[in-house]
Structure 1
Amino acid sequence: MESVPLLRYLLFGQLSRDTILPLEGKPQVDIPGGSLFYSAAGLALWGNSCGLVGRVGEDYPQDWLTLFDRRQLDRRGVRTLPEALDVRAFYAYLDENTCQRDNPVSHFARLGEPFPKSLLGYANPTNSLDSRTQAAKLSLRMNDIPEDYLDATAAHLCPLDFISHSMIPPALRRGQMTTITLDPGEGYMNPIFWDDIPALVKGLSAFICSETKLANLFLGRSTDPWEMAEAIANYGCEFVVIKRGARGQYLYDSVSRVGWQLPAYPSKIVDPTGAGDAFSGGFLATLRETYDPLEAVLRGGVSASLVLEGSGPFYALDTLPGLPQARLESLRGMVRRR
C-alpha cells in the first residue's frame, strides 16, 4: 500500500483558465491560473509538503493539474466535478495599477492581436455579493478535505466565497491546525456583511487583505488603514496584513499593538497576476516555520516580487538559486515601525 505523505501546509483556493494581456510580452492565452496555483508557487519558494484543496469541472485540462505533481505539491484535495464549469478569467493590464477584466474583444483589437477562440462567449465578471446561505458549485465543503490533510498544522484560505470561508476554518480546527491565515473574498468585503466579519476573523493567525477590499468593508466608517487593522485585530486575530501593491505592506500585531511598514521589492513588473496570492503562500510558509510575522511579510513580499517579473504561476520557481534570499536580505533594513 502506498504511503500517504505527511503534509505541513494546506492551501484552499480556486483554479482558472487565464488569458492575460500583460504589461510586457505577448498575450498569454488560456494558461493555468487561479489563486491555488499562485499561492502554491509563493509557498514553494520557502517550504514544501503542501496539500491543495479546490474544485474544477470535468472540462478543466487535467494535464494542467499534473503541473502540481512536478513541484511535489499534493493535489488529492482538488476535486473534479462531473460537469463542465466555466472558470475562464481575463486580465488586461493598462499600467501597474490598472487591470480591466471585461470586454476582451476591444483589448485585443487595441493591441492588434487576433481574438482567441478560447474566449468566445466569455461573460464579463459581475460584482455580485456572496450568499450567506446558498453554496455555489465551486464553493468548498468540509468533505472536500482528505482526512489525512487534517494532520497538517498550517493553512491559508485564498479569496473564496463567504460560505467557503465560514465552513473551512472550523473543520480545520478539529485537526492539528495551529496556524490559519485568510485573504477575504471581494463578494463579502462589503458593509452589508459588517456584522458577519467578527465570527469569520475570530481565531485567525493572520487576516491578509488588500487595501482596496478593506476600504470597501469600512466604507462610511473609517479611511485610516491602521484604525481598520486594529478593528479587525480586536475581533480575535493575531496579525493583520494590509497589501498595498507597489507601496508594500502594513503589518499590525494585536499582541504588542505595534504597526510596521514594509516596502515592496522594486521588481520590473511584467505581469501582476497572482502576486497577492504568491505573497500569502510565502507568508504562510514562514509564519508556520518561525512565527515571526515580520519575517513572514518580508518573505511573502519576495515571493510576490518574483511572480511579478513574468507570466504563468510557476515562473517564480525557475528563478536563479539564491535570488529569493538575496532579495530578502536587501529588504530587511527597510522595515519601519509605525
Structure 2
Amino acid sequence: MTPSSAVTIFGSLTIDDLVFSDGSTRWGVPGGCAVYAAMGAMLWTSQVKIVAPLGPDYPAESLDKRIDLSHCPPATHTLRNWGLYEEDGRRHFVSRSASRDWAKFCPSPVDAIAAHQALAHVAPMPRALAVELIEELRRVGAESISLDLDDHDLLASSELDATVALIRKVDLFIPSRQDLHAIFPEAGPLEGLRRLRTFAPDVTLIAVKCGAEGVIAHVAGAPEWVRIPAIPVALADATGAGDAFCGGTLAGLAEAQDPVEGLLCGVVSASFCVEGLGFSGMAAATEEKAKDRLTMLRQLVEAHPF
C-alpha cells in the first residue's frame, strides 16, 4: 500500500535500559519514539522519513533500509534513558545525566523543511518545541499533522489553555490514557475524550490509546464515538506500541482517506509491535498478515452515541 505522499516522523532516537514489572531487564536497546512510529507507518506506505538528531553511537544499521534517515541532523551522542514499566501498564522514562536536556535530542523548527511531502507526525517532545515545530510545519505546507504529547510535560504544567491551544493546531491528536489523565486527572478515558472534543471541535480525529484495552476515538462532527479493541496476540514487549499506533494511524488515514480506517491500521501496527522484542515484531510483519488482521478487526468496531 503506497499513499501518494510520504510520512515524516519528527521525534527522537534513544538507547534504552528497560526494567519490566516482572523484574526482567533489557540493556542497551536501540529505540526511540521516532523509530517505532516509522515502523508502524511502514506497514501502510513504502515512504517513511525520520527527522531526529542521530548520534554516532546509534546502531542505524539495525533499522529497516526503507526508512530514510538522510534528514537527521547530527548529534554528539544518543539520548540514553532508563525505562521503568509497572503492572498496570504505566511506564516512566528517565534520562541519564548526560541526556537531561531533552530538547537537544529533538528536531528543531528549522528541520521542518523535511515535511514538504505534507504528512507529518510530531512524536513526544517538550511542548514549547512541539509548538514551534508545528507552526513551522504549517508554514512550509504540511497538510496533515498528528501529535502525541509527552506526559512528563503535561504533569509539570497546569496550563490547560496552552495544551488546548497546541491540540487545536493539529489534525490528529493521539494521547495515551496516561497523557489524558495528566490533562484531566479526575476524568476517565471517555469523559476525557468528550472534554477534549469540547475544547477542540475542529480537530479531525482525537484518539485515546488505552493499551491492552484498545483505543477509543471521535471523528469531528460525528454523532458517535468508536471503540476498537486491541488484537489478541502473544505479548513479548509493549515498548513502542503507542508510537507504532500513531505512525500506522497517520499512514492508514492517508491511504484510505477515512479516519476510522486509519485507526484500524494503527491498531494492526501496534499488534505487530508487541509481538516481538524491540523492532523485531514489526520487521517480521508482512502485507498479507496486515491485511488479514485489518479485515478481522473491521468486524469488531463498536460505535456508541457521543
The two structures have a TM-score, normalised by structure 1, of 0.79
The alignment's C-alpha RMSD in Å is 2.9
Structure 2 vs 1, CA of residues 323 and 229 (structure 1 numbering), >3 Å: closer, same or farther? same
SS in 1 for 2:222: coil
Q: Is the 8 A contact 2:102 2:125 kept in 1?
A: no
Q: Paired residue for 2:167, among 201, 221, 227?
A: 201
Q: What is the alpha-carbon distance in structure 1 between the residues aligned to residue 21 and residue 181 of structure 2?
A: 26
Q: Aligned to 1:173, what secondary structure does the other structure show?
A: helix
Give me the whole-angstrom Cα distance separating, in 2, the residues matched to 1:7 and 1:225.
Answer: 32
- Equivalent residue for 1:90? 82
- Could you tell me whether the CA contact under 8 Å between 2:13 and 2:105 is conserved in 1? no
Distance 1:136 1:94, change over 3 A: closer
- 2:40–2:266 contact (8 Å) kept in structure 1: yes
Cα offset for 1:53?
0.9
Number of aligned residue pairs: 298
Larger-gyration structure (1/2): 1
In the alignment, the residues of structure 2 paired with residue 185 and residue 205 of structure 1 have an alpha-carbon distance, to the nearest angstrom, of: 17
**Residues 54, 78 of structure 1: 8 Å contact kept:** yes
Q: 292, 296, 300: which is aligned to 1:330? A: 296
Identity %: 26
**Deviations for 1:24-62, whole angstroms, at most 9, x for unmatched residues?**
9x853312111011111101111121221112445x33x
The answer to whether the 8 Å contact 1:278/1:303 transfers is yes
Structure-2 separation of matches of 1:23 and 1:317: 25
Residue 135 of structure 1: CA displacement? 8.4
Letter in 1 for 2:158: I
Unaligned runs of 5+ in 2: none
The code of the aligned residue for 2:17 comes to T
State the partner residue of 2:209.
243
Change (3 A) 1:212 1:19: same
Alpha-carbon offset, residue 186 of structure 1:
1.5
Q: Does the 8 Å contact 1:44/1:317 carry over to 2?
A: no
1:212 aligns with 2:178: yes
| Distance in 2 of aligned mates of 1:122 and 1:170 | 30
Residue correspondence of structure 1 range 10-159 to structure 2 within 5 A: 10-21=8-19, 27-58=25-56, 60-61=57-58, 64-68=59-63, 70-81=64-75, 83-84=76-77, 87-91=79-83, 93=85, 95=87, 97=89, 99=91, 136-145=103-112, 147=113, 149-159=114-124
Q: Do the aligned partners of residues 10 and 253 (structure 1) sit closer, same or farther apart at CA in structure 2, a change above 3 Å counting? A: same
Moved more, 271-280 or 308-317: 308-317
Matched, 1:227 2:219: no
Alignment partner, residue 148 of structure 2:
183
The answer as to whether partners of 1:7 and 1:50 remain within 8 angstroms in 2 is: no
Q: Which runs of 5+ in 1 are unaligned?
A: 1-5, 103-120, 127-133
The ranges of structure 1 where at least 4 consecutive aligned residues each deviate by more than 4 angstroms after the TM superposition are 21-24, 92-96, 98-102, 121-126
Q: CA deviation at 1:227?
A: 3.4
2:38, 2:49 within 8 Å by CA — same for their partners in 1? no
Matched letter for residue 211 of structure 2: G
* Corresponding residue of 1:260: 226
Separation in 2, partners of 1:23, 1:303: 24
Kindly state the Cα deviation for residue 300 of structure 1 after the two structures are TM-superposed.
Answer: 0.6
